[in-house]
Amino acid sequence: MKALIFEQFGGPEVLLYADVPDPSLEPGTVLVEMKAIGMNFADIYRRRGYYHLAGKPPYILGYEGAGVVQQVAPDVDNIKIGDRVAFADVPFANAELVRVPVDRAVPLPQDITFEQASAVLLQGMTAHYLVHDSYVVRPGDDVLVHAAAGGVGQLLTQLCKSKGARVIGLTSSDAKRESALKAGADEVVLYDSNWVKEAVRFARDGQGVNVAYDSVGSTLLDSFAAVRTKGTVVFYGMAGGDPPHVDPRMLMDTSKTLTGGDLWNHVTTRSNRIERSEALFEAIRQGRLRLEEPKRYSLSEGAEAHRLLESRTHTGKVLLIP
């Protein structure tokens, strides 16, 4: 089969489109012919060598995608050849064939395309647990969303709006501000403004937002300044660097809450993956989730796709098509 591989860490130029052996079928797995592959920043971090990779090169990136089942292990009885499936956490996805453990395979309804599934699963399940588990968003809540033009940010904004909340988003440029507004944010301000003051003003009573979703990290204390007394900060990413230390006495004095978030602590079983995925698919059907048009590259153009994602100039999903 063909796959996008690399044998040393570095820039996009280390990626090669090459022939590699087909993955072998193992107990409890199926082989999936890939139709669309979702790219994420974790792919860039792995290519650069920031994350540990097991085994020896050549390495294959990718964890998210969708396709059609081509082979089924003898002990698998709930998936058959020809089934459409998607996944968000299976390694070596940048290839024509991927071995998928049954507990990671999400059934894909006929009315949801391979590209939609590859664009929404990982970031969508992240947004889903953030608004249902980390902090339960309620009608009338005032919500601050960091990186509101990003993949998670746009979906998070839409899910908050669908639950009756008001959203103020943060972006780094006017172009990204427009993307966040199109995603449904009530107001969007830039990071180089006095955004803490703007978030406090945005709140209905001028006392601060109910919750701030912080994926930047270095902005954590400012997020606390933007939330009201008894408000919540959800810390779930460090795109801007390590967060500063938080003084527990501040939490006591203000009755504010800090909670962390990691998707894989919330998605631990196949039934939970399917439940959250079906909720996302239904939101797409009903128009409560609108996916920005993805940028598509053939798998052989993987280096160019990495350059685009790394540039941070594209606000939608980047897909690889085998």
- Residues in Cβ contact with 97 at an 8 Å cutoff, skipping those fewer than 6 apart: 1, 22, 23, 31, 32, 33, 34, 70
Q: Which residue has the tokens 């052989």?
A: 300
Residues above pLDDT 90, as percent of the chain = 91
Q: What is the side-by-side strand order in the sheet with 16-19?
A: 16-19, 2-6, 59-60
Q: How many CB atoms lie within 10 A of CB 131?
A: 24
How large is the average pLDDT for residues 127-138? 97
What pLDDT is attached to residue 52?
77
Asked if the structure places residue 184 within a domain, the reply is yes
Q: Which two tokens stand for residue 24?
A: 């072998």
More confident position, 240 or 188? 188
On whether both 162 and 191 belong to a single domain, the answer is yes
> Which pLDDT score is estimated for 50?
82
Give residue 72's pLDDT.
Answer: 98
Specify if 178 maps to a domain: yes
pLDDT score recorded for residue 274? 96
Report DSSP state, residue 113.
-
- Cα first-last separation, the chain: 10
**Rounded (to 5) percent helix, strand, coil in the chain:** 35, 25, 40
**Of the listed ranges 15-19, 91-95, 148-152, 219-223, the one predicted with least confidence:** 148-152
Grade residue 313 by pLDDT with cuts at 50, 70 and 90: confident
What is the per-residue pLDDT for 314? 76
Domain boundary among 240, 260, 280: 260
Q: Check residue 240 and give its pLDDT.
A: 86
The answer to whether 231 and 211 have CB atoms below 8 angstroms apart is yes
Same domain, yes or no: 100 and 71: yes
Residue 58 pLDDT exceeds 90: yes
Q: Looking at per-residue confidence, does 315 or 204 come out higher? A: 204
Torsion of CA 105, 92, 94, 276, to 10 degrees: 30
b (16+ CB within 10 A) / e for 2-23: ebbbbeeeeebebbeeeebeeb
Query: Does some domain include residue 126?
Result: no
| Closest residue by Cα to residue 46 from 86, 10, 73 | 10
DSSP H helices in the chain: 41-48, 114-129, 151-162, 174-182, 195-202, 220-226, 248-254, 270-285, 302-311
Is the per-residue pLDDT at 85 higher than 90?
A: yes
- The answer to whether residues 6 and 107 belong to one domain is yes
What mean pLDDT do residues 125-139 have? 97
Q: Is the pLDDT of residue 312 over 80?
A: no
- The yes-or-no verdict on residue 153 having pLDDT over 80 is yes
Whether residue 71 lies inside any domain: the answer is: yes
Work out the pLDDT band at 65, boundaries 50, 70, 90: very high
Residue with structure tokens 């940010």? 153
**Phi and psi dihedrals of 161, rounded to 5?**
-65, -40
Residue 131 in domain: no
Domain that holds residue 220: 139-260
User: Residue 116 above 80 pLDDT?
Assistant: yes
At 32 the pLDDT is: 98
What integer pLDDT is reported at residue 311 of this predicted model? 86
pLDDT (mean) for 169-181: 94
Residue 51 lies in a domain: yes
Split at pLDDT 50, 70, 90, the class of 225 is very high
Q: How confident is the model at residue 305 (pLDDT cuts 50, 70, 90)?
A: very high
Q: Is the peptide bond before 244 cis (omega within 30 degrees of 0)?
A: no
Calpha distance 126→74 (Å, rounded): 33
Domain boundary among 244, 260, 276: 260
Determine the Cα angle at 254 with ends 240 and 191, to 5°: 25
CATH at 246: 3.40.50.720
Tens-digit pLDDT profile for residues 246-303: 999 999 999 999 999 899 999 999 999 999 999 999 999 999 999 988 999 999 999 9
Chain segment 16-56, per-residue pLDDT in tens: 999 999 999 999 999 999 999 999 988 998 999 888 787 88
Report the domain count for the chain: 2
| Res. 315: pLDDT tops 80 | no
Last residue of a domain, one of 213, 239, 260: 260
Q: How many CB atoms lie under 10 A from the CB of residue 42? A: 15
Tokens of 67: 């396709």
Instruction: Judge contact between 68 and 83, C-beta under 8 A.
Output: yes
Omega of the bond prior to 322 within 30 degrees of 0, cis? no
d(CA 11, CA 306): 9
